[in-house]
Structure 1
Amino acid sequence: MNESVHFPIIATIHSPFKEKFGIPRQPNLVDVPCYIKLLAPYNDKSAFEGIEAFSHLWLLWVFHDNKKQQSFKPQVRPPRLGGNQKIGVFATRSMYRPANIGLSVVKLVSVEQHNNGIRLCVQGSDLLDGTPILDIKPYISYSDAIIDAKSGYAVEAPLLKQVFWHTEALNQRTALLQQHHTSEQELKYLEQVLALDPKPAYQQDIERVYGLRFSNLEVKFKVKLQDVFIVNLQYVGLG
């Protein structure tokens, strides 16, 4: 039996998540828009005829930015369990697994003509910018949504924290809006991401300053109990 198989990459995703830190840990926790750019020869619009009749899609993709593991590790520490408790890797959605494949449900917004090909606009993605897409399948509500399914240690969606702006960051926000380096809508998406508390679950230092890249913005923030405080916001340009 073959020990490995190979799949073509049919698309890449363009998202505001420029680094792994800060990406929602599950899909559909934020409604940030992303674009799936189809690669030739898969950017043929006829290949997607009928897809707009579906509200959601399954994306099969690759954890392409993982550090290479030297050997198989049967247990990991899920953030949902505080980051210190170990559990079997196949009982989690950890990115570190034998086949570095991810699976996400996203909302289909539109199919657009773009640069002599097509792209899909979706919402709810939890994918790093540039992530390779292996396949796209329609979400079938009567079979894919199991009403009485059990979710182990992840029974409920994570509690959202309140997001506040310190005075300096608020002034920076105003300046960036005036300079057209960002928009109110983009800042609302940023607040959605921060409300999920992206810091490691085991870190509880309320004075520690964390930083993440979102779209063309670099944000610094603190987490104190049920509140997130944005302390600094900078425009870092395209890329």
Structure 2
Amino acid sequence: MTGLKMPIIGYMRSPYKEKFGIPRQPNLVQVESYIEMTGPYNDLLAFEGIDAFSHLWLVWQFHANKNQQHNQFRPQVRPPRLGGNKKIGVFATRSMYRPAALGLSVVKLKDVQKVGKDVRVYVTGSDLLDGTPIIDIKPYIQYSDALVDAQSGYAQEEPARKIVIWSDRAEQQKQALLAAQKILPKTFQELEEVLSLDPRPAYQDDEERMYGMKFADLDVKFNFQQSCIVIQEL
């Protein structure tokens, strides 16, 4: 059946400016972002009592998935966690290539603020692209949502992190941006956390290859050398 319509209640404003580099699961990196609510949902009364909850569920839309526009169902996909080569059923993954382009993430609630005419919901731990449409916000219920004996198949444990180092050139650029107060120190800390998760495609292991990603107001160039992620240029 088709025809189900859902409202967009807000849009995520995050430092993730492109899909490449976004953590593959929420809460792996405590990057701060906020949801900019749209009318008529930008009413503080709708958030009364939310401060009693530490975490929230976000229901959102994979809006930047071009393949989804062709309505082509893929019964199997290649999860990055399995090296990007092994196929398994789409319903055994969190792949973006789904019958319905909906995602579900748990984030930590920081604050709800009125900023001018806007209502903003500040969170950390989001894995959402900047501009992602938000469909719904629900409180996270610890006693029912946290199942400590749950089995998570091929993703039972958090992925190993890489050491992140700065080249001399990148370090000089970083210090210049800090001195000019163009970039906050926490942005560089968040960048290092994101890169420590090794955003490269799982099937690529080429030390000669240079990668680029946009994070906040930074255009970052990095490569992989001797088991480390090396930031080469900003």
TM more than 0.5: yes
Aligned pairs for 1:13-162 (under 5 A) are 13-69=12-68, 70=70, 71-162=72-163
Whether the 8 Å CA contact 1:163–1:229 is kept in 2: the answer is yes
Q: In structure 1, how many angstroms separate the alpha carbons of the residues matched to 2:197 and 2:77?
A: 21
SS at match of 2:67: coil
- The equivalent residue for 1:204 is 205
Shift of 1:225: 4.8
The amino acid across from 2:13 in the alignment is: H
Unaligned runs of 5+ in 2: none
Whether the 8 Å CA contact 1:45–1:117 is kept in 2: the answer is no
RMSD: 0.9
Q: Which runs of 4+ in 1 moved over 4 A?
A: none
Q: In structure 2, how many angstroms separate the alpha carbons of the residues matched to 1:158 and 1:225?
A: 18
- The equivalent residue for 1:187 is 188
Percent of paired sites with the same residue: 59
Between 1:148-157 and 1:108-117, the stretch displaced more is: 108-117
SS at match of 1:98: coil
SS at match of 2:74: coil
Unaligned runs of 5+ in 1: 234-239
Q: In structure 1, how many angstroms separate the alpha carbons of the residues matched to 2:34 and 2:137?
A: 13
Between 1:114-123 and 1:132-141, the stretch displaced more is: 114-123
The amino acid across from 1:58 in the alignment is: W
Aligned residue pairs total 232
Whether the 8 Å CA contact 1:23–1:198 is kept in 2: the answer is yes
Shift of 1:202: 0.5
Whether the 8 Å CA contact 1:80–1:201 is kept in 2: the answer is yes
- The equivalent residue for 1:236 is none
SS at match of 2:26: coil
Q: In structure 2, how many angstroms separate the alpha carbons of the residues matched to 1:153 and 1:177?
A: 41
Shift of 1:50: 0.1
Q: In structure 2, how many angstroms separate the alpha carbons of the residues matched to 1:224 and 1:24?
A: 21
Shift of 1:117: 3.4
Q: In structure 1, how many angstroms separate the alpha carbons of the residues matched to 2:5 and 2:178?
A: 46
